[in-house]
């Protein structure tokens, strides 16, 4: 029987026009509204081209104070979220893997609670507190967390709202690590549990930590509902408030904040792709104990 030899023809390099079409559609979808917004801010009827909407931002009443308050709230929220989730998720993966499902459910609960409902619950607590706790030391605490210069109550609300995003980001980072092996290698070299986490685990979670910080920052910068109902004036509330009297400046500030967010995203993405901090047991510079 004659052997049958099959020859496979190499596929021809055909131009894939669909890639260009997808890129154009995505560009129009994302950049179209931004371009229209920029045109609206620089094209004033009966005046023509002007940059007054941008040059007057720094001198606008409440701009610097609202932006500073938002950045302070963002930093506090990021710190609290990381201090809550990182130790808990590492401890669960190392010591109690069965609790991972419970932590995931708890961190996902804010997704099913609308911001308005969450704020209504906070308002009820804040109204109940001064009356019920008037003769207790907690009375001053209830008042202090509502201090307009730094409303801690907003930090607590933002932490709850950021938990689902932060958990997913950190969970993805931990899934990419052989956490048990890293910690055991560090412990075999004599490192304490805290040193093993600080010198081995956290450097390998750099990308996940940066992504968590960015997502939390973006959430705080754009959050309006909770702060508005509670009567505080962070950056997002200030933008909406100034829009009633100076619409072009409001849109200009929104455009600048969007560009700033993109720049931060690019910076964090570049930092996350930097050289790996894979720390071997020898780099811990500790002597192995017998």
Residues 227, 158: contact at Cβ < 8 Å? no
Looking at per-residue pLDDT, the higher value among 7 and 221 belongs to 221
pLDDT over threshold 70, residue 274? no
Structure tokens at 13: 């390099």
- Give pLDDT, residue 11: 53
At 4 the pLDDT is: 46
- Establish how many alpha carbons lie within 13 A of residue 109's alpha carbon, considering only the half-sphere containing its beta carbon: 10
Q: Tell me the CATH number for domain 68-272.
A: 1.10.3720.10
Cβ(42)–Cβ(49) below 8 Å: yes
The position carrying tokens 């792709």 is 273
In this predicted structure, what is the pLDDT of residue 164?
93
pLDDT above 50 for 286: no
Share of the chain residues as helix, strand and coil, in percent rounded to the nearest 5: 75, 0, 25
Dist. CA 114–CA 234, nearest whole Å = 20
φ, ψ (nearest 5 deg) of residue 44? -95, 130
DSSP structure string for 48-76: EE--HHHHTSTTSTTHHHHHHHHHHHHHH
Residues facing residue 43 across a β-bridge:
49
Q: Is 263 or 283 the better-scoring residue by pLDDT? A: 263
Mean pLDDT of 207-231: 90
CB contact set of 150 (below 8 Å; sequence gap of 6+): 69, 72, 73
CA torsion sign for 198, 202, 206, 209 is: negative
The neighbour count for residue 107, using CB atoms within 10 Å, is: 23
Higher-confidence position of 245 and 93: 93
> What average pLDDT does range 20-28 have in this prediction?
86
**168 confidence band (pLDDT: 50, 70, 90):** very high
d(CA 119, CA 226): 6
Residues 6 or more apart whose Cβ sits within 8 Å of residue 75: none
Render the burial of 35-51: b for 16+ CB within 10 Å, e for the rest. eebbeebbeeeeeeeee
pLDDT range class, residue 272, cuts 50, 70, 90: low
Asked whether the predicted pLDDT for residue 148 surpasses 70, the reply is yes
Give the residue, 171 or 183, on which the prediction is more confident. Answer: 171
Lowest mean pLDDT among 14-18, 108-112, 190-194, 228-232: 14-18
Give the residue among 195, 172, 170 at the shortest CA–CA distance from 281.
Answer: 195
Please tell me the predicted confidence (pLDDT) of residue 28.
86
Q: Locate 21 and state its tokens.
A: 């079409």
Residue 159 has a pLDDT of 94
pLDDT classification of 161: cutoffs 50, 70, 90: very high
pLDDT of residue 137: 76
Question: Structure pTM?
Answer: 0.80
d(CA 284, CA 186): 7
> Which whole-number Å values give the CA distances from 30 to 9, 33, 156, 255, 259, in the listed order?
41, 7, 32, 13, 12
């Amino acid at each position: 029987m004659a052997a049958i030899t099959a020859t496979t023809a190499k596929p021809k390099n055909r131009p894939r026009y669909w890639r260009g079409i997808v890129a154009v559609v995505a560009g129009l979808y994302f950049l179209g509204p931004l371009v229209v917004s920029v045109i609206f801010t620089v094209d004033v009827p009966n005046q023509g081209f002007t940059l007054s909407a941008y040059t007057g931002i720094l001198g606008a009443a409440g701009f610097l104070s609202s932006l500073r308050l938002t950045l302070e709230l963002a930093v506090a929220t990021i710190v609290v979220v990381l201090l809550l989730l990182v130790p808990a998720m590492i401890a669960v993966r190392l010591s109690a893997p069965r609790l991972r499902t419970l932590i995931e459910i708890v961190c996902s609960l804010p997704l099913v609670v609308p911001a308005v409902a969450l704020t209504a619950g906070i308002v009820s607590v804040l109204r109940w507190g001064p009356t019920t706790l008037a003769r207790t030391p907690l009375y001053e605490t209830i008042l202090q967390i509502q201090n307009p210069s730094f409303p801690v109550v907003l930090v607590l609300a933002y932490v709850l709202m950021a938990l689902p995003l932060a958990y997913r980001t950190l969970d993805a980072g931990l899934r990419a690590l052989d956490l048990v092996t890293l910690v055991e290698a560090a412990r075999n070299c004599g490192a304490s549990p805290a040193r093993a986490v600080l010198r081995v685990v956290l450097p390998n979670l750099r990308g996940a930590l940066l992504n968590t910080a960015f997502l939390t920052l973006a959430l705080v910068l754009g959050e309006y509902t909770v702060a508005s109902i509670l009567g505080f004036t962070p950056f997002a509330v200030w933008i909406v408030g100034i829009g009633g009297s100076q619409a072009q400046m409001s849109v200009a500030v929104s455009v600048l904040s969007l560009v700033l967010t993109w720049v931060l995203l690019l910076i964090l993405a570049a930092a996350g792709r930097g050289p790996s901090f894979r720390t071997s047991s020898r780099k811990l510079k500790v002597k192995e104990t017998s």
